Amino acid sequence: MASSSSRRASARTSQRTSSRPARRTGRAAGHMVFTERNYILLGIALVLIIVGYSIMRIENEVDGFLSLYIAPLLILGGYLEAIYAILWRAPEVENTA
């Protein structure tokens, strides 16, 4: 004979699973997280970072205008662009039917 506490626990479990609607994320199984736009933005970020470091190396001066002002801005812009590219997500289309 089953105890009353185990019957209550099984009743709560069955209530939880039956009363709760299925959670839908809006994305089909096997759907890629990144879209083509994400990869393009990541490519732009990579180019900005490489150009920034290249400018810094080419000028090779501590007090040079390019290595002191332009290159750090390009590198910072590249890293910010990479963060944006990773976090960007396409707007989801709602089904009206």
Residue keyed to tokens 């390019």: 66
pTM (predicted TM-score): 0.64
Taking only the tens place, the pLDDT of each residue in 11-66 is: 555 555 555 555 555 556 677 888 999 999 999 999 999 999 999 999 888 889 99
> Rounded distance, CA 78 to CA 72, Å?
10
Query: Is 77 a member of any domain?
Result: yes
Within-domain flag for 74: yes
Q: How many CA atoms lie within 13 A of 71 on its CB side?
A: 19
**Within a domain: 17:** no
Name the domain count of the chain: 1
Residue 59 falls within a domain, yes or no? yes
Nearest alpha-carbon partner for 55 in 76, 79, 74 = 74
State which residues form the domain around 85: 33-89
Helices 36-59 + 71-87 axis angle, to 10: 160
Tokens encoding 87: 């976090």
